[in-house]
A and B are shown apart, each in its own frame.
Chain A
Amino acid sequence: MGDRRMLEQTFAIKGIKEGLLIALSPTEEWQQITAALAARIDQQSSFFAGARITVDVGERPVPKYELSSLKALLERRGLTLWAVLSDSDTTIDAAQALDLKTSTANTIPGREGADGSEFNPEEDGTPGVMIRRTLRSGRTVHSAGHVVVYGDVNPGAEIIAAGDIIIWGKLRGNVHAGADGDESAVVCALDMTPNQLRIAGYITTSPPDKRRKPRPEVASIRNNQMIVETWQN
């Protein structure tokens, strides 16, 4: 829905299990990319807040001083550079010299701890994004965790989350919970009339009954079916 042509094509961001993956253009000037990235982070600081970042630089050889300045740039904004993906040996060496990971797949366990571990009364919680305003048409939010919106999600706005999506307001745009395939993900809203609602691989739209009373509802997958029901505790 969002007009992606509007975005600078110097980098692309997507949510992965380990945090955010930022793929940098292999052709664009390095300075330009990092400047655009910094501007984007400053602009959407709430989205990026505290995120763990994996950077994919493709075939670009990135010397250590450039990588460490990128690391510093991210750290100044409260982000952690966690891993660097590259096909270039120069970049891999630089990343290793800076003590960064150079692959992500299955290098760390997922959310669930090892079975049989000691019972821990303190919950670690799971990462999420809190958005305290209305998402208007053309806005997109990607998150590797959960997304909570204190406001409305207007038609033309879009949320894609690996985890759950909770809307304390009217949901009228497009949402995709469990976007990495997690069928246990849920979507909740005070008024659930999404243009399109997806959970993992399931998809539904709102029935066109116009004048109904808004009520809090929850959407989830049960028995291989999307179910939307009135919320009750």
Chain B
Amino acid sequence: MGARGAKVVTVTSGKGGVGKTTTTANLGIALAQLGKKVVVIDADVGLRNLDIVMGLENRIVYDLVDIIEGRCNLRQAMIKHKQFPDLFLIPAAQTRDKTAVSPADMIQITDKLRPEFDFIIVDSPAGIERGFRNAVAPADEVLIVTNPEVSAVRDADRIIGLLEAYQKGPGKLILNRVKADMIRKGEMLSADDVTDILAIKIVGIVPEDEQVIPASNSGIPVTLNENSRAGLAFRNIARRLCGEDVPFMPLNEGGGFFQKIARLFTGGQSE
């Protein structure tokens, strides 16, 4: 870690429902498993979710807006994870909206947290408005989550353009909910198809996994499930965020697809 302490990583997407919150929760857990000190911040003020996915909903007393408006100090709003004492959540306010937070507020809060942590992960709301700008303002690195479908990729492209305009770009890509069999049948965009348009680096390819939804519902992110392929993908992304060179796992046992992915990373270029 540099002199500034923690690295602030913002998870965003443009389109809703592609897996930002799931990704944030799982990366938070996976980084904590690697022994990192982590804070995850839910920047989706008014549509609070991250606490549910992390199983911490019933522990919320103060939230992000309480910190900003001075009703509590930073520590009071930080909820310690049940299993990992070095993992904390700062929940979003549910009764307010995005205008209760400004980009400067986010920078101020993350700057206060930086000296004590290794990673601060910010869960961005969908969209390109105020909430997105709040989430991106403090970022040292931006992860763009997308699904292998045209509309999600289109939104990701718009987001990358905005990140470039804010000088936060181009960011790195997480391709979520990938189905190898559909790609083989030509029914789903491949990683090649997606990077052909977006032209940015991929840090993770997460396979579709039926264990993700029950895991989120029960507040035990899928990363904690040793047998989940999506969980493994998230753990690999966390290791890559720590600077490790982790090869991409084959999407299915067949292996043929893996070569294709491998080719993508040797020959793939970013702008």
Q: Report the bound CA distance from A158 to B155 in whole Å.
A: 15
Interface string of A55-96 (1 = CB under 8 A from B): 000000000000000000000000000000000000000000
Q: Nearest Cβ distance between residue A81 and chain B, in whole angstroms?
A: 26
- With contacts A154-B197, A155-B197 known, is A134 near B158, CB below 8 A? no
Task: Decide: B199 and A156 in contact? CB cutoff 8 A.
Answer: no
Hey, which chain A residues are within 8 Å of B154, CB to CB? 137, 155-156
The interface residues of chain A, by DSSP majority, are classed as loop
Type the 1/0 row for A145-170, where 1 means its CB is closer than 8 Å to any CB of B: 00000011011100000000000000
- Does B165 lie within 8 Å of A154, measured CB to CB? no
A215 at the interface (CB under 8 A from B): no
Interfacial chain B residues near A6, Cβ < 8 Å: 128
CB proximity of B258 to chain A, nearest CB, Å: 22
Q: A136 to B157, Cβ gap below 8 A?
A: yes
Residues A136 and B161 in contact in the complex (CB < 8 Å), given A155-B154, A155-B197:
yes
Asked if B271 lies at the interface with its beta carbon under 8 angstroms from chain A, I say yes
Q: Which chain B positions have C-beta within 8 A of A225?
A: none
Verify B161–A138 contact, CB threshold 8 A. Answer: yes
The secondary-structure label for the interface of chain B is helix
Question: Smallest distance from the beta carbon of A33 to chain B beta carbons, Å?
Answer: 21
A101 interfacial contact with B, CB 8 Å: no
Q: What is the number of residues of chain B that contact chain A, defined by CB distance less than 8 Å? A: 13
- Taking the complex as formed, is A43 at the interface, i.e. its CB lies under 8 A from any CB of chain B? yes
| Complex Cα–Cα for A169 and B165 (A) | 21
Contact B271 A156 (CB under 8 A): no
Known contacts A43-B165, A152-B199, A155-B197, A137 near B158 by CB under 8 Å: yes
Q: A6-B128, A133-B271, A156-B157 are in contact. Are A138 and B162 (CB under 8 A)?
A: yes
Q: Does B160 reach chain A (CB closer than 8 Å)?
A: yes
The 8 A CB mask of B122-165 against A (1 = contact, 0 = none) is 00000010000000000000000000000000110110111011
Bits for B161-172, please: 1 = Cβ < 8 Å to A, else 0. 110110000000
With A6-B128, A43-B165, A134-B199 known as contacts, the answer to whether A151 contacts B271 (CB < 8 A) is: yes
Choose one: A3, A137, A151; the contact of B157 (CB below 8 Å).
A137
Query: B158–A138 contact, CB under 8 A?
Result: yes
Which residue of chain B has the shortest Cβ distance to A155 in the bound complex?
B154
A-B interface, 3 closest residue pairs, ranked by CB to CB distance from nearest: A136-B161, A137-B158, A137-B157
Q: A138-B157, A155-B154 are in contact. List 20 more A-B contacts (CB 8 A).
A: A3-B128, A6-B128, A43-B165, A133-B164, A134-B199, A136-B158, A136-B160, A136-B161, A137-B161, A138-B161, A138-B162, A139-B161, A151-B271, A152-B199, A154-B157, A155-B157, A155-B197, A156-B154, A156-B158, A172-B197
Q: Can you list 28 A-B pairs, Cβ within 8 angstroms, ordered by A? A: A3-B128, A6-B128, A133-B164, A134-B199, A135-B161, A136-B157, A136-B158, A136-B161, A136-B164, A137-B154, A137-B157, A137-B158, A137-B161, A138-B157, A138-B158, A138-B161, A138-B162, A139-B161, A151-B271, A152-B199, A154-B157, A154-B197, A155-B154, A155-B157, A155-B197, A156-B154, A156-B157, A156-B158
